[in-house]
Amino acid sequence: MPSSGIHVVVLAAGQGTRMKSRLPKVLHPLAGRPLIEHVLKTAEAISPSTVTLIVGHAADAVRTSIGNRPNLDFVVQEPQLGTAHALQQAETRLAGREGTVVLLSGDVPLLTSATLRRLIEAHEGADAAATVVTAIVERPYGYGRIVRTKGRIARIVEERDASPEVRQVREINGGIYAFDLPPLFDALRGIASQNAQGEYYLTDLIAIYRRRKLPVETLVVDNPAEIRGINSRTELAEVSRIVRQTKNEELMAAGVTIIDPATTYIDADVEVGADTVIHPGVSIEGQSRIGAACEIQSHVRIVGSEIADRSIIHNFCLIIGSRIAEGASVGPFAHLRPETVVGEGAKIGTFVELKKTTLGPGSKANHLAYLGDATIGARVNVGAGTITCNYDGTHKHPTVIEDGAFIGSDTQLIAPVRVGKGAYVAAGSSITEDVPAGALGIARGRQTNIDGWVERKKPPVERKKEKARARD
Ligand code: UD1
Ligand code: CA
């Protein structure tokens, strides 16, 4: 395939009115990535010589989200007068070039690069001036319909402009096309805006080509899901379900056990190793990486985190922006906040919250603790009810606990503070000063036992009654 002559244009200037959103449609996330990212990834996979993205509505937000990429240029369409008008904006960038324009829509995210390659092959093989990607569907409502005469495509009619007969047609326009560059921009100038929406429809180009005797072909895709467009929140949810299902199937094929795929939500960019078992109701989001032979129990949510091989995450944990080393155990009901690092074989138990904290290899915080801004060494035991008091109302302060230290239950470590290597902290202490290595830190009121106190406390009547009972 001569990839040097392929120029991709992506239409993404529309507001997406039907989404009823302040966020531009193409930035709505689908499986953890903005819609437009799915489209650009597909485009980049065919190594085009240029990519032009037509932006308009909320152009700055779209630009910022996408950032700089090789061969990608943004062109602004202002105002947005329809899909033909949008493509016209690419003329200055593509004028004088030869080759094929591949037109993609920013709101059609499931298209595969394999289909794009087939489109280019079919288009160049047939020496067509235009090739339209179509599909035969059960529910064509909302899409442009392909009208054929003697089997050949004659024109495309939009839903709103279609007669009852045309609305019966089940072959739809996918909004994805290949165009031979030389005749394209001149023909676009022939499009008028006399239609239900008063817009310049790119779809009118087909009838113009036919009149000019330019050859138009179609590529009918086998899997209509590939060209599903997203115009509403319902369509977004439906397409999300398809992406999720595909992702789960890929992972299962690669050796991951997913007990209930219907309730497992794994974003597109997530990686999971073989022999890992994922229980029902789990969400794994963003750029998360789960190793091999892990167990992720029910109702766990993992966002942008790394979990190494053979770790187990018990029920109901929330893990965000954290790294967990091999063979660690977390939960149930643990909350790992950003910048948490859990060492090899370490153990975090029930109702434990960590924030910006490193827990060294083999260390344990088994029950009810808050560890924030802390650096905890290897083989440390953090007792139940331990709290790092890291915030003085204005600033955050660090706590350091060195290797092998033992923190007794119900300890408050008032930061900044350091507990040295192998030191002990007595249960119930409020530690305000460093505890040297090997020392015992004890900071609590001394216990006094008052003999006979209970007896003396009793009211005289009660005492009399007791004496009487004793005589009987
Ligand atoms: C379009 C097609 C329809 C096809 C469907 C497939 C037209 C007239 N209709 O309809 O035949 O079945 O896609 O999904 O082309 N856009 C701009 N500038 C504009 C208008 C739109 O950049 O002025 C962009 C939008 O951001 C969107 C894409 O073009 O990414 C398609 O626009 P949309 O309004 O969603 O068209 P549909 O009604 O879905
Ligand atoms: Ca659309």
The pLDDT tens digits along the chain (472 residues) read: 343 499 999 999 998 999 999 999 999 999 999 999 999 999 999 999 999 999 999 999 999 999 999 889 999 999 999 999 999 999 999 988 899 999 999 999 999 999 999 999 999 999 999 999 999 999 999 999 999 999 999 999 999 999 999 999 999 999 999 999 999 999 999 999 999 899 999 999 999 999 999 999 999 999 999 999 999 999 999 999 999 999 999 999 999 999 999 999 999 999 999 999 999 999 999 999 999 999 999 999 999 999 999 999 999 999 999 999 999 999 999 999 999 999 999 999 999 999 999 999 999 999 999 999 999 999 999 999 999 999 999 999 999 999 999 999 999 999 999 999 999 999 999 999 999 999 999 999 999 999 999 999 988 898 889 889 988 8
* DSSP label of 140: -
Does the annotation count 367 as an active-site position? yes
**Using a 6 Å cutoff on CB, does residue 80 contact ligand 1?**
yes
Q: Residue with the nearest Cα to atom 8 of ligand 1?
A: 201
What number of CA atoms fall less than 13 Å from residue 42's CA on the CB side? Answer: 27
Q: Could you please report the per-residue DSSP string of 298-342?
A: TT-EEES-EE-TT-EE-SS-EEES-EE-TT-EE-SS-EE-TT-EE
pLDDT at 2: 40
Instruction: Give the residue, by CA position, lying nearest to ligand 1 atom 22.
Output: 13
Tell me the longest C-alpha to C-alpha distance in the chain.
123
The ligand whose atoms approach the alpha carbon of 175 most closely is 1
The pLDDT of residue 183 is 95
Q: Catalytic: which of 28, 299, 314, 367? A: 367
pLDDT of the residue at 56: 97
Given CA atoms 411, 416, 422, 423 in this order, what sign does their dihedral have? negative
Centre of ligand 1 from the C-alpha of residue 215, in Å:
23
Q: Is 173 in the pocket of ligand 1 (CB under 6 A)?
A: yes
CB of 314 within 8 A of CB of 296?
no
Q: Closest residue (by CA) to atom 36 of ligand 1?
A: 83
What letter represents residue 153's amino acid? Answer: I
Whether the bond between 332 and the residue before it is cis, its omega within 30 degrees of 0, is yes
Tell me the pairing of strands 387-389 and 412-414: parallel
CB neighbour class for 199 (10 Å; exposed up to 12, middle 13-18, buried from 19): middle
Token pair in block for residue 139: 């529910």
CA-closest residue to ligand 1 atom 35:
231
**What pLDDT score was predicted for residue 466?**
87
11 Cα to the center of ligand 2, angstroms: 10
Distance 87 CA to ligand 1 centre (A): 11
Query: What pLDDT was estimated at residue 472?
Result: 81
Ligand 1 binding pocket includes 340 (Cβ within 6 Å): no
Dist. CA 115 → ligand 2 center (Å): 19
- The reply to whether ligand 1 has any atom less than 6 angstroms from the CB of 156 is yes
Distance 44 CA to ligand 2 centre (A): 21
The one-letter code for the residue type at 30 is L
Q: Between vectors from CA 443 to CA 438 and to CA 448, what angle results, nearest 5°?
A: 120
Q: Is 54 in the pocket of ligand 1 (CB under 6 A)?
A: yes
Is there an atom of ligand 1 within 6 Å of 200 CB? no
Nearest CA among 320, 348, 355 for reference residue 332: 348
Q: How far is the CA of 54 from the centre of ligand 1 (A)?
A: 12
- Six-digit token pair at 79? 């105002």
Q: Please give the number of the atom of ligand 1 that sits closest to the Cα of 77.
A: 18
The minimum-distance atom of ligand 1 relative to the CA of 11 is 22
Residue 109 Cβ < 6 Å to ligand 1: no
Contact 183, 65 (CB under 8 A): no
Q: Is the CB of 224 under 6 A from ligand 1?
A: no
106 within ligand 1 shell (Cβ under 6 A): yes
Q: What is the residue with the minimal CA distance to atom 29 of ligand 1?
A: 11
